[in-house]
Amino acid sequence: MSAGKIIILIVFFAVIVGGYFLTIRISEDMSKLRENSSGSISDKGKAFGDMFIDSSIGDASVLNPLLSTDSASSDINGLIFNGLVKYDKDLRLVGDLAERWEVSENKLTITFYLKKNIKWQDGAPFTSADVEFTYRTLTAAKTKSPYKSAYELVKVFEATDSYTVRVTYEKPFAPALESWGIGIIPKHLLYKEDVNTTDFNSRPTGTGPFIFAGWSRGEKISLIYNEKYFDGRSFIDKFLYRVIPDQSSQLMELKAGGVDSMNLTPDMYKTLKKDISFNAKYNMFKYVGFNYSYMGFNLRNPLFTDKNVRKAIAYGINKKEIIDGVLLGCGVETTGPYLPRSWAYNKSVPAQGYNPEKAKALLTAAGWTPGNDGVLEKNGNRFEFMLLTNQGNKARELMVQIIQQNLKKIGINVKIRVIAWSSLVNEFIDKKKFDAILLGWSLSNDPDNFDLFHSSKTAEKEYNFVSYKNDEVDRLLLAGRTTFDHEKRKQAYNKIHAIMADDLPYVFICVPESLVAVSKRFKGLKVEPAGLKYNFEKWYVPKEAQKYRNEIQK
């Protein structure tokens, strides 16, 4: 999640929500917001009110769940939109917009029974027509969505009445139920629009617990509570998402009270654990993460077409140095495209290990020889490339420096470029204008990673931006998602893991632990298998501990 200084001013504006006007008063100078002067925080029970100020190193790119490809956008979309299903705290699928569902004996048909009396945030009724519109939009040829593949497998879509939806697949599709957790979009607002370019993508309307209130690009996104949310209004009145593209600056804001939460770097976490004054004001959480870090190659670049060259680079990178030196031990090595805790992870795949001599031997065998300055050369070309990562993520910035130093020892010259998140995604990743990139993937509970690695998913805005193609992996990706037999799926994903550990479209580096600080004003927080913020709308601040004046006047 990923900047500019907040301008000191007071803005008044009005938006129409649910058929009535909301007048929103936003005070941008954090020091001018009213605060309680009490020190210790007691809890006399749940109360409505207060504001949660989150921080991110990168701005969102598009506020439409069908199009968003970055974590910042997904964070906001998750508060504005709902899917038919969702994961509960124990990572079990439960109903969201759907009250219940039935799966046919042959596992090919799912019938969803929608909750009644749900309203869009502008007051229009939510019905099966919105679900059908979302499906038709996702599968339309012109829609630039990375999620199409899951919905293109639907053979027949039926809205049998206003509150019943039936989807039938041509063949078994294991992640079918999970796929309907995608945010549903409103037909009545978008049926005449081009979903790729509509203004809706910057001013969304959903069914979720928070209503969009404003977006200052590169600075902040403001949300307010949805009083008529079908699952009960959020206890928090307002959510402010501040873009602060540097984690050191975020920490300064956190300590000063300008934000209520941030993702900590390992060195911050270790230092702050010993800070008595900080621990009096903030809770810190540490839990196994849902993402892995990787260095991906642009496989259209001739430098990286030889698998043995990619292997040499992998042998030349000291993962232990990254985990110990950058993550301070707050992470584990990974050998493939699944999380080590996943049932799909192939534990028999050995860690490659740091072996610069083996790396040099592979490069020599591939025809690369040292030039006068020690940099490898072949056919008059130097072995050098640009490694990109996103601005504001201190751990990644340190990782690329270690990779640069490691690869210099085997004769490869790596240049580093750190780019603001939105530019990195839109101008470089989507357009495949990169040599190599250091990023991470946040993964869902189901191991289906068809969209990341299938050779058909290389178009702009799709996730296989490294242009990986392996016919056996393509076959196994299809096999893994088209059977409900758990053992057959496990065999397919274990084989994918083994092939990719050898093929190395990515150098799979590590799974970092999640390290989060949250102000002790907020209650109702608990780390569960689903993480920390899965139930954000249920967080609350006791009345006596509330910090900000209620800024919403109706």
Does position 74 have pLDDT exceeding 80, yes or no? Answer: yes
Q: Which CATH number fits domain 85-190: 3.20.20.70, 3.30.310.50, 3.90.76.10, 3.20.80.10?
A: 3.90.76.10
Question: Token match 């038919």: residue?
Answer: 84
% residues pLDDT > 70 (the chain) = 91
Name the CATH topology of 291-513.
Dipeptide-binding Protein; domain 3 (3.10.105)
Tokens 């599968």 locate to 139
Query: With 50 as the cut, is the pLDDT of residue 455 above it?
Result: yes
How many other CB atoms are there within 10 angstroms of residue 50's CB atom?
24
The per-residue DSSP string of 468-526 comes to ---HHHHHHHHHHHS---HHHHHHHHHHHHHHHHHH-SEEEEEEEEEEEEEETT-BS--
Average pLDDT over residues 251-272: 96
Alpha helices per DSSP H over 21-170? 71-80, 128-139, 148-152
Query: Which residues have a Cβ under 8 Å from the Cβ of 309 and sit 6 or more positions away?
Result: 303, 362, 363, 366, 368
CB of 445 within 8 A of CB of 458? no
pLDDT band at residue 66, thresholds of 50, 70 and 90? very high
- Give residue 45's pLDDT: 83
Residues facing 331 on adjacent strands: 512
Q: Do the domains spanning 85-190 and 291-513 agree at the CATH topology level?
A: no
3 state SS of 113? strand
- Assigned architecture for domain 10-71+208-260+521-553: 3-Layer(aba) Sandwich (3.40)
Digit-coded pLDDT (tens) for 110-150? 999 999 999 999 999 999 999 999 999 999 999 999 999 99
Domain locations along the chain: 10-71+208-260+521-553, 85-190, 291-513
Please state, in angstroms and rounded to a whole number, the distance separating the CA atoms of residues 308 and 538. 51
Q: Which of 151, 223, 222 is nearest to 184 (CA)?
A: 151
Closest CA to 363 of 335, 385, 383: 383
pLDDT in tens, 372-429: 999 999 999 999 999 999 998 889 999 999 999 999 999 999 999 999 988 999 999 9
Closest listed residue to residue 406, CA positions, set 325, 483, 467, 338: 325
